[in-house]
Amino acid sequence: MNLDTKTALIYDEEMTQYKLLWVDPACKIEVPERLTVSYEALMKTGLADRCVSVPVREAIDEDILLVHSEDYLEAVKQTPYMTLEDLQEFTLQYGDVYFHPNIYHCAKLAAGATLQLVDSVMTGKVRNGMALVRPPGHHSMCSAANGFCVFNNVSIAAKYAKQKYGIKRILIVDWDVHHGQGVQYCFEEDPSVLYFSWHRYEHQKFWPNLRESDYDTVGKAMGAGFNINVPWNKVGLENSDYLSVFIHMLLPVAYEFCPELVFVCAGFDTAIGDPEGEMCATPDVFAHLTHLLMNLANGKVCAVLEGGYNLKSLPQSVCETVQTLLGDPLPQPANLTGPCKSALESLHCVRATHRNYWSCLKHAADLPSNELSTKRVKLAEDENPVEKNEEEKEAKEIVWPDPLKRTSPSVRTAVVVPEGITCPEGCQLFCPSEDPDPNLIKQLQESLGRDTDDLTTLSTLIALMDQMEKNRIRSGLALVRDVSMTMNCIVQHAASSSCNRILIVFLGDEVVKNITEDGKTMLVHLSSNSLESEMTKYYIPVCLKKGCSDVSGLIHAVLSLLLPLGYEFDPGLVLLVQTPDCGVSENTWQQLTGLLQALAQGHTLVLMKESDQTSVAPTVSSLLGTPAPSLGPLSAPGSDDVEVLERLRLKLQRDWKLLQTTVSEIKCDDDG
């Protein structure tokens, strides 16, 4: 396999060689085992062997000084020679952190490992990668250690990437459960680094208890709008909460921003069972969070470990992340039922705040009337913090099922092409193993008449779908004479057979037959058809002014409607159909194909017209897992399109809760 499709894994056992040497309840969870269990899980699952192992190095002074002050560096340099008492005293000037004679060495390795990852990705040695490091980084500041962090690994690496590779736009996604205030401070005036962080906040009652972690801190001067904080004001949040914020806030802004490099402050204290986060998201959610970033920046994603303190969910989450970076099929996302009210309130506030800075959010609703800053002040007044009893905390043991194994079918992409057309490189020509079922032929004949070519193609296609359903084939591409007719036959077949739910995404102006409302198929029809067909729960006509040819309009439709609908519908197969005249650009099509592979375990079947030869290569490339090319910074979607999409979203959110973006416009309790 080509190196540029590979995933780097950077780890060194040396980073386990420091620990807390005295009693400190705030720090006792940050243990060396965090790293050993994570690495062992990667070994045991065989994931480590599939990665390119890149050695760590020590960051040098010059690297560290990109972010930290000389005084601070000199102070940390003394720690290896300190006595136990000196170390304890030194530690006291900082918050929730501890020092050890070997931590300076490890901190240099952690920062250096992150720089090695940047170099591997930027030189094309690998496509993406993960660095498993200790100590973590995102809380440490210019002149201060904080929150288990000594040097700010990701901030140093972002500055390094700007300097060494001349990168103009960097996205940092901080999915750790704590606010990476160190990263925020480092880049608050810098518009070339977009920092996104969600974090447990509880109206400032949760550590680090900062006013500036709230949604209304957006960055300063030139950097205004390039700092995005999503405060969580409740614990127990679930997969739906995380995914809805990714889909409705981070992704639209990220696509508009168009980063050249993506860092993930990959803390897994957001996962279930974590004593710090107290959230309920399952490890498989990190597969989706990772995948949704992998079509940005031409796939250049650098994940760097931050927190994560449950020694069971941490290694599981690390494995889900690495396995996704390697390109394995995603786990089917279970019970996505929409965000809870508190998460929705946070989403609403952050969208309202950032609509001044991002054109994709121009239409976002006003802040809710019971604005939260007042709530925060009130909460602070009558606050009577009840410290949770530590033993009590540990007593209630949280259990969750082991993540399912993510097995890659032996065939990645199968194709069905008419005779005379050669099989695209990297694909496998699909030949049905059995003769078609006579009942099926009879049924097809009834709807098709006697055209034997069409009949053969269709029965072959249905056999292919069956193989995909049995997980023997991951994805498929079919070139057919008539895409609409083929699609209609497949819908009919789905209704009368016991196959899984199918999400159909149709790009083009041809009129499509209304589909059944039995919930087996959902059709999202993206077109420029002026006649707005009747929308139902499962038939969603999306009419864009310039159809699929307008990049921002289409991406906006995909993120605000298609993706949340797809996640909530949870299909077993995605049928992606394009007509030759639909006008979609090659790169946008690849983005769509790439993103949709988050659904149905990557079971995407693309239908195109046989004469449409130029679309074959880009489609195959996306189906084979190549990241879609960047679309360039996006302009504002047309206001007509935004209006149409908003109208649809408002209507549909009664049935599909993942479409919600505000707390007020839907009365949550009146439709139970």
Q: Name the residue with tokens 């597969």.
A: 287
When the beta carbons of 148 and 246 are compared against ligand X5A, the nearer one is 148
When the beta carbons of 314 and 458 are compared against Zn ion, the nearer one is 314
The answer to whether 258 and 367 have CB atoms below 8 angstroms apart is no
Q: How far is the CB of 284 from Zn ion (least distance, A)?
A: 20
Tokens for 458, please give them. Answer: 């269709």
Task: Mark the segment that binds ligand X5A (CB under 6 A) among 123-131, 141-149, 465-473, 519-527.
Answer: 141-149
Tokens for 217, please give them. Answer: 């801190």
Closest Cα to residue 492, out of 512, 470, 467?
Answer: 512
Q: What does the CA dihedral 493, 497, 502, 505 come to, rounded to 10 degrees?
A: 10
- Residue whose C-beta lies closest to Zn ion: 307
Task: For residue 563, count CB atoms less than 10 angstroms from its CB and return exposed for 0-12, middle for 13-18, buried for 19 or more.
Answer: buried
Question: Is there binding between residue 136 and ligand X5A (CB under 6 A)?
Answer: yes
What separation, in Å, do the N-terminal and C-terminal C-alpha atoms of the chain show?
A: 52
Closest Cα to residue 178, out of 202, 197, 194?
Answer: 197
- Determine how many CB atoms are found less than 10 A away from the CB of residue 105: 17
* DSSP E strand stretches across 460-587: 473-480, 502-507, 521-527, 539-543, 573-578
Q: Which does 139 bind (CB under 5 to 8 A by kind): ligand X5A, Zn ion, none?
A: ligand X5A
When the beta carbons of 148 and 567 are compared against ligand X5A, the nearer one is 148
Task: Mark the segment that binds Zn ion (CB under 5 A) among 90-98, 304-312, 359-367, 446-454.
Answer: 304-312
Which of 307, 339, 541, 637 touches Zn ion (CB under 5 A)? 307
- Across 580-599, b (16+ Cβ under 10 Å) vs e yields eebbbeeebbbbbbbbbbbb
The secondary element (H helix, E strand) that includes residue 416 is strand 411-416
Question: Is there binding between residue 269 and ligand X5A (CB under 6 A)?
Answer: yes
Q: How far is the CB of 29 from ligand X5A (least distance, A)?
A: 8
Q: How far is the CB of 363 from ligand X5A (least distance, A)?
A: 35
Question: Is there binding between residue 267 and ligand X5A (CB under 6 A)?
Answer: yes
Q: How far is the CB of 146 from Zn ion (least distance, A)?
A: 11
Of 68, 100, 138, 139, the active-site residue reads: 139
Q: How far is the CB of 244 from ligand X5A (least distance, A)?
A: 23
Task: Map 424-457 to HEC letters.
Answer: CCCCEECCCCCCCCHHHHHHHHHHHCCCHHHHHH
When the beta carbons of 129 and 135 are compared against ligand X5A, the nearer one is 135
Question: Is there binding between residue 520 and ligand X5A (CB under 6 A)?
Answer: no
Task: Mark the segment that binds Zn ion (CB under 5 A) among 6-14, 172-180, 532-540, 589-597.
Answer: 172-180
Q: Is 68 a catalytic residue?
A: no
Site string for ligand X5A, 283-322 (x = CB under 6 A): -----------------------xx---------------
Q: How far is the CB of 410 from ligand X5A (least distance, A)?
A: 40
Task: Mark the segment that binds Zn ion (CB under 5 A) among 151-159, 266-274, 392-400, 591-599.
Answer: 266-274
# of chain residues touching ligand X5A (CB under 6 A):
15
Q: How far is the CB of 35 from ligand X5A (least distance, A)?
A: 13
**Which residues within the stretch 3-42 sit at the binding site for ligand X5A (CB under 6 A)?**
26
Q: How far is the CB of 178 from Zn ion (least distance, A)?
A: 4
DSSP class of 493? H
Give helix 313-325 / helix 33-44 axis angle, nearest 10°: 50
Q: How many CA atoms lie within 13 A of 7 on its CB side?
A: 24
Task: Mark the segment that binds Zn ion (CB under 5 A) among 40-48, 301-309, 380-388, 593-601.
Answer: 301-309
Q: How far is the CB of 273 from Zn ion (least distance, A)?
A: 14
The answer to whether 282 and 271 have CB atoms below 8 angstroms apart is yes
When the beta carbons of 201 and 567 are compared against ligand X5A, the nearer one is 201
Task: Mark the segment that binds ligand X5A (CB under 6 A) among 120-128, 147-155, 523-531, 546-554.
Answer: 147-155
DSSP line for 300-336: -EEEEE-----TTHHHHHHHHHHHHHTTPPPPPPP--
Q: Which does 136 bind (CB under 5 to 8 A by kind): Zn ion, ligand X5A, none?
A: ligand X5A
Rounded Cα distance between 496 and 320, Å, is 36
When the beta carbons of 206 and 257 are compared against Zn ion, the nearer one is 206
- Determine how many CB atoms are found less than 10 A away from the CB of residue 239: 24
Q: Which does 566 bind (CB under 5 to 8 A by kind): Zn ion, ligand X5A, none?
A: none
When the beta carbons of 285 and 648 are compared against Zn ion, the nearer one is 285
**Which residues within the stretch 613-652 sit at the binding site for ligand X5A (CB under 6 A)?**
none
Q: How far is the CB of 138 from Zn ion (least distance, A)?
A: 8
Site string for ligand X5A, 158-187 (x = CB under 6 A): ------------------x-x---------
CA distances from 509 to 355, 525, 526, 553, 613 (A): 32, 9, 8, 16, 20
Question: Is there binding between residue 269 and Zn ion (CB under 5 A)?
Answer: yes
When the beta carbons of 119 and 176 are compared against Zn ion, the nearer one is 176
Q: Which does 641 bind (CB under 5 to 8 A by kind): Zn ion, ligand X5A, none?
A: none
Question: Is there binding between residue 207 and ligand X5A (CB under 6 A)?
Answer: yes
Question: Is there binding between residue 176 and Zn ion (CB under 5 A)?
Answer: yes
The secondary element (H helix, E strand) that includes residue 264 is strand 261-266
Closest Cα to residue 147, out of 181, 175, 117?
Answer: 181
Size of the chain, expressed as the number of residues it contains: 672
DSSP line for 97-166: ----TTHHHHHHHHHHHHHHHHHHHHTTS-SEEEE--SS--TT-BTTB-BTTBSS-HHHHHHHHHHHHH-
Rounded Cα distance between 251 and 554, Å, is 14
When the beta carbons of 276 and 509 are compared against ligand X5A, the nearer one is 276
Question: Is there binding between residue 178 and Zn ion (CB under 5 A)?
Answer: yes
Task: For residue 632, count CB atoms less than 10 angstroms from its CB and return exposed for 0-12, middle for 13-18, buried for 19 or more.
Answer: exposed
Task: Mark the segment that binds ligand X5A (CB under 6 A) among 143-151, 193-201, 319-327, 609-617.
Answer: 143-151
Order of strands, edge to edge, in the sheet holding 301-305? 52-54, 7-10, 128-131, 301-305, 261-266, 170-174, 193-200, 227-232
Order of strands, edge to edge, in the sheet holding 521-527? 428-429, 411-416, 473-480, 604-609, 573-578, 502-507, 521-527, 539-543
Question: Is there binding between residue 273 and ligand X5A (CB under 6 A)?
Answer: no
When the beta carbons of 178 and 474 are compared against Zn ion, the nearer one is 178
Closest Cα to residue 563, out of 503, 615, 643, 603?
Answer: 503
Task: Mark the segment that binds Zn ion (CB under 5 A) among 169-177, 209-217, 297-305, 322-330.
Answer: 169-177
Amino acid at 604: T
- Residue whose C-beta lies closest to ligand X5A: 307
Which of 68, 139, 376, 406 touches ligand X5A (CB under 6 A)? 139
Catalytic residues: 139
Contacts with ligand X5A by CB under 6 A lie at: 26, 96, 136, 139, 147-149, 176, 178, 207, 267, 269, 276, 306-307
Binding site for Zn ion (CB under 5 A): 176, 178, 267, 269, 307
